[in-house]
Amino acid sequence: MNRLVLSVSRGISRVTESPLGLYQSAVIRIGFAGTWLLFLLREFPHREQLYGPDGPWSWAMAHRLTSDNGAFTALMWTDGRAWFEVFYVLAVVVSALLLLGWRTRTASVLFMVGVLSLQNRSVFVGDGGDNVLHLMSIYLVFTRCGRVWSLDARREERAAAARARGERVADRTGPLLWAVLGLALAGVTVVGRLNSALLVPVLLWTVWLAQGLWWAVGRRARSQEPRILLDVIANIVHNGALFVIMAEACLIYATAGWYKIQGSRWQDGTAVYYPLHLEYFSPWPALADLLSANGTLVMLVTYGTVVVQVAFPFTLFNRRVKNVLLAAMMTEHAVIAVVLGLPFFSLAMIAADSVFLPTSFLRRLGGWAARARGRLPRRGGRHLPPPRSPEGHESAHVGFGA
């Protein structure tokens, strides 16, 4: 009984004392923000046909659908072309800011607004990768995904160094950004633009109020207890969101694998052959012909895909087997990106898979990147110093960062 109580106590302490999976959440942030940014840039010449007010899926039809299902999209606030163009450019900018980790909490909320607005504007545009991105954009809001590998982390490190020297650190950008966005949120609420389902409006107001409370406690509290309490709540929310992301990824693979088992083409080992010969999914016909010419290879890939997808959720308790299957799935998605011409679907799935990457591997990867950056010359012949490891860094981020 004492062992059980001790184990539960350790588990509670682990969940509340610090955010888990800092490197994994950073990779997820970078992966999904980069995927959405590349998609928006690639489709920039076709943006009006995909999401514009005069596209095949007209503004009137989209308005009728969103009125029925309550889906949130800021593109339904007006049918003006100017608003659409401004919003699309802002979505590109916000994706880049989230990728870099600038004011990550605010950027993640705006990123969610951009993803939901564009995808709900034209629900018939996209594939399975867009569904994953749709869900992950919501989950990212709850994570502390800017604690490492971000501009927020660098700003906090510099602020901590300044405080150690006895200097006073003031954050003016955060409160100004909070006030401007609060006025905008109040404006669209008063005029009745947030008339979708309650999830998005409640989430927007909750995050805005929580950020204001975080700043007020950090600035006005006379003791550390209120700040510690808020930090514990933030850690619990982050860890819960990370668990949901893991469960979501497992659910995707489990359902995909079990549905494949029921298909006759997957049972006889020929399912992979057919998409390789569909014109829509054959950007490289010669490569597709080469891969499908060997019947044994097609059978092995077909059965291997099913086995990996069904087995993966059950391998999470065995680190070595999990890492092998994880590498196999990422390789498979990379092949799908090239052979079937589905780069954004593959990038989205690889980003989701990244939540299971080992921390030791990600830290080594970050070390290699830091050393490579350190070799780049700066103006005046100086070199960029490698960043310090965030391990052991206990201070929470100030203001409106991660």
Per-residue pLDDT reduced to its tens digit, 180-237: 999 999 999 999 888 778 889 999 999 999 999 998 998 888 888 889 999 999 999 9
Q: What is the pLDDT of residue 400?
A: 44
Residues 350 and 334: beta-carbon distance below 8 Å: yes
Please identify which residue in the block is written with the tokens 């990038």.
347
Q: What is the pLDDT of residue 401?
A: 45
Residue 75 Cα distances to 114, 202, 299, 357, angstroms: 9, 19, 46, 36
Q: What is the pLDDT of residue 379?
A: 53
Task: Convert the pLDDT of each residue in 36-89 to its tens digit.
Answer: 999 999 999 999 999 999 889 999 999 999 989 889 999 999 999 999 999 999
Q: What is the pLDDT of residue 393?
A: 40
Q: What is the pLDDT of residue 124?
A: 86
Q: What is the pLDDT of residue 195?
A: 76
pLDDT lower than 50: segments of the chain:
384, 389, 391-402
Q: What is the pLDDT of residue 398?
A: 36
Q: What is the pLDDT of residue 265?
A: 92
Burial grade of 83 (CB within 10 A; 0-12, 13-18, 19 or more) = middle
Output the pTM of the full model.
0.91
- Measure the CA–CA gap between 215 and 223, rounded to whole angstroms: 14
Q: What is the pLDDT of residue 394?
A: 35
Supply angle C-alpha 172, 177, 181, rounded to 5: 155
257 half-sphere exposure, CB direction, 13 A CA radius:
19
243's CB contacts (< 8 A; 6+ apart) are none
